Amino acid sequence: MDSLLIKGGKPLHGVVDISGAKNAVLPIMAATLLTPERCVIRNVPDLADVGMMERILTSMGASVQRDGGTLTVQASRISDKADYDLVRKMRGSICVLGPLLGRLHRATVSMPGGCVIGVRPIDLHLKGMRALGAEVKTMAGYVRVKSRRLVGAPVFLGGRAGPTVLGTANVMMAAVLAEGQTIIESAACEPEVTDLAKFLNAMGAKIAGAGGPTITITGVKQLHGAEHEVIPDRIEAATYAIAGVATRGEVTLRGARIEHLTAVIDKLRDMGVKVEGHAGGITFKRGRSLRPVDITTLPYPGFPTDVQAQMMTLLTLIPGISIITERIFEARFSHAAELLRLGADLAIEGPSAIIKGGSPLSGAPVMASDLRASAALVIAGLVAKGITQVNRIYHLDRGYEKIDAKLHGLGASVSRVAGS
């Protein structure tokens, strides 16, 4: 397993190009299953998760060609079953369930399983499928859905932690070919859901209200091929912005959308960070002294849970008490123990992390555990005195395109070490 060796203490300076959004492109790739015609998707990031989704689509019979950042998919004929071993490895692949039900009226997909950040059930996904008339069975690690007819219906998709992003995506994709109208209440408002709806509408679907809490889908007979450019990755953007601030540098994000980063920019400005949007992108510059802040993760447009770990690293550097409360996932503090190893001073109290900021970090070997926790450890390594070795960086390669090259381009002293 590869590691990243980071020599801390160098401020990041310069411009970094933000790639296409992982969490937009995965459901959009799944949506190509809804038509036998050719689809072209642009601004596709080169990520392990995208490669995994390509393999899943291919295993189901679709043809997938990749040419740089452009993916061409044609699902002329597809099986109703997604490969158990592939789906089991990547939670995001659960979003093939909706398109299979929409197009074939049946699907057999492995239960996605949880991961280090929580149990991650799919009860709301299945509630939506049942609302459309599907019979749902779970057995031997698979979920099987089937329905003679799919009939549009109202469905409330709010769960114990609010809306579900991929649940909204799945129900939308199952409903586009159903008879009649489906109204999703408590829909996820994330920009990635809006981007998926835009792609589905380009394929001939009739979806209104995406980006808001009520989405209306009027079923159509069939969908045709379409072309689409994926939105930039707001989580990658936030990660590099925080890395620039943490290292006392100045970083410009080229290609990021300022309207997707409102909550993150609001918090950084509260801390005293200078943020300026301009033709060349968005520039983040650390002010003279930063203030501690309190953060609670919430569904979009609230503060994103996917930026919580990175912010924790930054807050460990700022003198004073900061509190982070994680309201989306029940176990998303795996980075805390590793930050302690680097010299941070914090305690976890239930859903909250109490951070006593200001203690200097010193480099050490640390273990990456999930995608965003790994990013938090990389940011810590960029600041810590000495060398930090971040192990198991395959987690990073799932969601950060060319992270070592991009950090290098910003002046970081970072190198990838091939693992045993």
Cβ neighbours for 284, distance < 8 A, ≥ 6 positions apart: 241, 244, 245, 250, 251, 252, 253, 268, 273, 274, 275
Q: Pick the closer one to ligand EPZ by CB: 120 or 385.
A: 120
Asked if 125 is part of the footprint of ligand EPZ (rule: CB under 6 A), the reply reads yes
What is the closest distance, in whole angstroms, from the C-beta atom of residue 104 to ligand EPZ in the complex?
Answer: 22
Q: CB 71 → ligand EPZ: shortest distance, Å?
A: 16
* H-helix or E-strand spanning residue 192: helix 191-202
Q: Which of 39, 95, 115, 189 is catalytic?
A: 115
The encoded tokens of residue 243 equal 């890395």
115 catalytically annotated: yes
CB 238 to ligand EPZ: min, Å? 11
**Residues 349-378, interacting with ligand EPZ (CB under 6 A):** 371-372
Query: Distances in Å between the alpha carbon of 252 and those of 183, 215, 242, 259, 286?
Result: 40, 35, 11, 16, 12
Number of residues this chain uses to bind ligand EPZ (CB under 6 A):
27
Choice between 223 and 328, CB closer to ligand EPZ: 328
Residue 116, CB-side half-sphere exposure with 13 Å CA sphere? 14
CA atoms within 13 A on the CB side of 402: 12
DSSP 162: B
Query: At its nearest, how many Å lie between ligand EPZ and the CB of residue 287?
Result: 29
Tell me if 165 contacts ligand EPZ by CB under 6 A.
yes
| CA-angle at 49, arms to 175 and 122, nearest 5° | 45
Write out the binding residues for ligand EPZ, residues 309-338 only, by CB under 6 A: 328-329
When asked if residue 122 is in the footprint of ligand EPZ (CB under 6 A), the reply is yes
Closest to ligand EPZ by CB, 133 vs 163, is 163
User: Contact with ligand EPZ (CB under 6 A): which of 64, 161, 202, 298?
Assistant: 161
DSSP state of 359: P
Give residues 170-189 in contact with ligand EPZ (rule: CB under 6 A). Answer: 188
Per CB under 6 A, the segment of 114-122, 177-185, 205-213, 353-361 that binds ligand EPZ is 114-122
Greatest C-alpha distance within the chain: 64
DSSP state at residue 189: -
Per-residue buried b or exposed e for 191-215, using 16+ beta carbons within 10 Å of the residue's own CB: bbbbbbbbbbbebbbebebbbebeb
Among 14, 42, 104, 123, binds ligand EPZ (CB under 6 A): 123
Residues of the chain by 3-state class (helix, strand, coil), percent to 5 = 35, 30, 35
**Number of other residues whose CB lies within 10 A of the CB of residue 51:** 14
- Report the residue from 30, 48, 124, 309 that binds ligand EPZ according to the rule CB under 6 A: 124
* Residue of 160, 221, 278, 288 interacting with ligand EPZ (CB under 6 A): 160
CA-closest candidate to residue 360, choices 338, 379, 380: 380
Contact region for ligand EPZ (CB under 6 A) — 11-19, 58-66, 160-168, 307-315?
Answer: 160-168
- Determine if 51 is a binding residue for ligand EPZ (CB under 6 A): no
- Give the catalytic positions in this structure: 115
Question: Where on the chain is the footprint of ligand EPZ (CB under 6 A)?
Answer: 22-23, 26, 91-92, 118, 120-125, 159-161, 164-167, 188, 305-306, 328-329, 371-372, 399
